[in-house]
């Protein structure tokens, strides 16, 4: 009878266990020094080796000829445990045997000495499923078991175990297996089975398995039934994933606000019977990669991507600011949660893409919240003191302030030449974000602005003059230039892209209202400008 790969290639000694040295090395040392505990607790996510290590430990403590802490695999005890003929090692599923009577029966059996082996070993899998009464019945035996009894508890949800159980066990935490380790193991299994696998395909299987060796071997087993040479495309078809080129194209449609193109891709994937919830999950993973690329300098140990996929994802990440990526992730995550609650998945996915293609307006709306709060506070003060609406006394001609903002160097004629070769500055949103961290009031003064690069200059353009008023202060200019240097890695001078008498974008109504309130003498916070008093 055919044996599935995860059973056929289950490790038989501690050295074969992949990615868990913190567990295997300690267990081997305890076995070699004969410092065997009476109760062990193995915790960790699925498919990471908890049951495998439990069986190896059960054989190792009973092996007639152990080899440096490992079972020999050849003696009568080892073979008997493998084929199930040794009744002294019992594997209990706590999900179906979770009552008080089941534990009482176990306690009665534990009093009898082993029939063949040295230890009577009880492996209780998914132990968190035991009832409260069953846990209480197990406590005394677990604390002071007979000298010939060994308990091995395994669980994926250790937080559900009572503290009284945890304190009586020697705990070992199983980590998710690194993708590269899983890929190497899959390559080895394919060699043993007489087939070949591309490295990108092995990494993709490792990424889908999410650190679980059993899941990766199960998927490999499924793909091997279709072909002898396993490629990334074959893995995607078997796992029901969208083609990577389509996923990249879908992300491009989102970045360029091409709603129709995104809907067409969804329609094509739906006709191919692709699961929309799985597609949403893939998009979440894709934008997560962008988020990490914008946050971390080195993502090599975090992201599992081929060189080509990494390059394309990095190019897309540079087109978005970190707040925009986080906003898109939030939209996708909410859509995925709704899909799991029974809504029409195709319609939900199409709605989500329409939102994502217009995500820029969402992030801009979110950025207006603090400015609206400042206006509401100013209007409240105005309602309490209507006298503030009285026009300010006329100032003398000699003391009147200039209404136009002085031009930031270089002069206007030189700027005309610079603007001919100016290109948009993609990193400008990141610069504004850094200014917000330096000073929220100053950063808000640059809302709605844009910037262009020409030679050694960064040319700032804005629908209002608040940001230019801010840049008149030397400390603000120095901070802006330092932030630009940190973001771009180059030194730039500051210049102005347009002037008050030139056509430009429509003024921000909120900014205009704030300016009118200031002219009336109403104090407005977080505006980023200096007082306009005499």
Q: Of the candidates 281, 286, 276, 279, which has an alpha carbon nearest to the alpha carbon of residue 251?
A: 286
Give the number of residues written for the chain: 534
How is the beta sheet containing 170-174 ordered, strand by strand?
Answer: 89-93, 120-125, 149-155, 39-44, 170-174
**Angle, vertex CA 54, rays to CA 50 and CA 55, nearest 5:** 125
Please state whether beta strands 229-230 and 89-93 pair in parallel, antiparallel, or not at all (unpaired): unpaired
Question: Is the Cβ–Cβ distance between 152 and 42 less than 8 Å?
Answer: yes
Q: Where in the chain is the domain with CATH 1.20.272.10?
A: 244-357
Measured distance CA(42)–CA(51) in Å, rounded: 8
Report the CATH architecture of 244-357.
Up-down Bundle (1.20)
Q: Residue 511 CA to chain centroid, in angstroms?
A: 37
pLDDT of residue 305: 76
CA–CA separation, 56 and 76 (whole Å)? 15
What's the rounded mean pLDDT across residues 503-530? 57
Quick one: average pLDDT of 27-34?
92
Domain 406-519, CATH homologous superfamily name and number? DnaA, N-terminal domain (3.30.300.180)
Q: Is 231 exposed, middle or buried (0-12, 13-18, 19+ CB in 10 A)?
A: middle
Of 78, 62, 169, which is closest to residue 120 (Cα–Cα)?
62
Residue 528 has pLDDT above 60, yes or no: no
Q: How many CB atoms lie within 10 A of CB 48?
A: 27
Q: How far apart are CA 107 and CA 95, in angstroms?
A: 18
pLDDT (tens digit per residue) in 458-488: 888 887 777 888 888 888 888 888 888 888 8
Helix 307-317 and helix 276-295: axis angle, to 10°? 70
Model confidence pLDDT, tens digit, residues 36-91: 999 999 999 889 999 999 999 999 999 999 999 999 989 999 999 988 888 889 99
Instruction: Tell me whether residue 444 is exposed, middle or buried, using C-beta atoms within 10 angstroms of its C-beta: 0 to 12, 13 to 18, 19 or more.
Output: buried
Q: How many CB atoms are closer than 10 A to CB 147?
A: 9
Burial class (CB in 10 A: 0-12, 13-18, 19+), 496: buried
Express each pLDDT in 199-209 by its tens digit. 889 988 988 88
Q: What is the DSSP track for 28-69?
A: HHHHHTT---SEEEEEESTTSSHHHHHHHHHHHHH-SS-BTT
Euclidean distance between CA atoms 216 and 221, whole angstroms: 9
In angstroms, the CA 151 to CA 171 distance is: 12
Residue 1: count of CB within 10 angstroms of its CB:
2
104 has pLDDT over 80: yes
Please check whether residue 340 is in contact with residue 281, taking contact to mean a CB–CB distance below 8 angstroms.
Answer: no
User: Alpha-carbon distance 7 to 213, whole Å?
Assistant: 11
- In the chain, CATH 3.30.300.180 covers 406-519
Strand, coil or helix: 461: strand
CATH, domain 179-239, list 1.10.8.50, 1.10.8.60, 1.10.150.120, 3.40.190.10: 1.10.8.60
298 — pLDDT class (breaks 50, 70, 90): confident
CB 209, CB 81: distance < 8 Å? no
Phi, psi (rounded to 5 degrees) for 255: -70, -35
Residue 410 has pLDDT above 70, yes or no: no
> Quick one: what percent of the chain has pLDDT higher than 70?
83
Q: Inform me whether the pLDDT recorded for 531 exceeds 50.
A: no
Which pLDDT does position 514 carry in this prediction? Answer: 67
Residues of the chain with CATH 1.10.8.60: 179-239
> Which residue stretches of 99-243 are H helix?
100-110, 132-143, 163-166, 179-193, 199-209, 213-224, 232-239
Please give the angle made by the CA atoms of 92, 96 and 99, to the nearest 5 degrees.
90
Pick the CATH number of 5-174 from 3.40.50.300, 3.90.1150.10, 3.40.50.720, 3.40.960.10: 3.40.50.300
């Amino acid at each position: 009878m055919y044996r599935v790969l995860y059973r056929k290639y289950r490790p038989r000694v501690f050295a074969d266990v992949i990615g868990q040295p913190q567990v295997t090395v300690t267990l081997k040392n305890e076995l070699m020094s004969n410092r065997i505990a009476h109760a062990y607790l193995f915790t960790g996510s699925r498919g990471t080796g908890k049951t495998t290590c439990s069986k190896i430990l059960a054989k190792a403590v009973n092996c007639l000829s152990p080899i440096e802490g490992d079972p020999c695999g050849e003696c009568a005890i080892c073979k008997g445990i493998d084929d199930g003929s040794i009744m002294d090692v019992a594997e209990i599923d706590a999900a179906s045997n979770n009552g008080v009577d089941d534990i009482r029966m176990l306690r009665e059996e534990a009093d009898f000495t082993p029939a063949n082996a040295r230890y009577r070993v009880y492996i209780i899998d998914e132990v968190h499923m035991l009832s409260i009464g069953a846990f209480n019945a197990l406590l005394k035996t677990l604390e002071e078991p007979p000298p010939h009894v060994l308990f091995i508890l395994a669980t994926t949800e250790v937080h559900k175990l009572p503290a009284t159980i945890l304190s009586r066990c020697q705990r070992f935490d199983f980590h998710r297996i690194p993708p590269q380790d899983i890929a190497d193991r899959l390559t080895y299994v394919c060699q043993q089975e007489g087939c070949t696998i591309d490295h990108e395909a092995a990494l993709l299987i490792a990424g889908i398995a999410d650190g679980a060796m059993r899941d990766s071997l199960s998927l490999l087993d499924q793909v091997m039934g279709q072909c002898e040479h396993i490629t990334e495309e074959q893995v995607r078809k078997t796992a029901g994933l969208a083609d990577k080129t389509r996923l990249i194209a879908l992300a491009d449609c989102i970045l360029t606000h091409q709603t129709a193109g995104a809907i067409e891709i969804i329609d094509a994937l739906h006709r191919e019977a692709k699961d929309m919830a799985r597609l949403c999950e893939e998009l979440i993973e894709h934008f997560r990669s962008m988020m990490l690329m914008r946050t971390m300098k080195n993502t090599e140990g975090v992201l599992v991507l081929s060189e080509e996929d990494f390059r394309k994802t990095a190019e897309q990440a540079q087109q978005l600011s970190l707040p925009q990526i986080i906003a898109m992730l939030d939209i996708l995550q909410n859509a995925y949660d709704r899909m799991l609650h029974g809504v029409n998945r195709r319609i939900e996915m199409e709605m989500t893409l329409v939102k994502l293609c217009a995500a820029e307006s969402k992030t801009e709306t979110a950025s207006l919240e603090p400015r609206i709060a400042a206006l509401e506070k100013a209007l409240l003060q105005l309602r309490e003191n209507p006298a503030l609406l009285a026009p300010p006394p006329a100032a003398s001609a000699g003391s009147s302030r200039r209404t136009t903002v002085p031009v930031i160097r270089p002069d206007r004629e030189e700027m005309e030449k610079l603007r001919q070769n100016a290109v948009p500055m993609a990193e400008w949103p990141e610069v504004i974000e850094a200014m917000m961290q330096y000073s929220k009031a100053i950063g808000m003064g640059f809302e709605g602005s844009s910037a262009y690069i020409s030679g050694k200059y960064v040319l700032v353009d804005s629908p209002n003059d608040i940001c230019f008023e801010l840049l008149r202060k030397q400390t603000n200019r120095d901070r802006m230039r330092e932030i630009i240097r940190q973001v771009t890695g180059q030194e730039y001078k500051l210049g102005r892209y347009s002037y008050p008498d030139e056509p430009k974008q429509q003024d921000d109504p909120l900014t205009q209202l704030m300016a009118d309130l200031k002219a009336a003498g109403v104090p407005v916070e977080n505006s980023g400008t200096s007082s306009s008093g005499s």
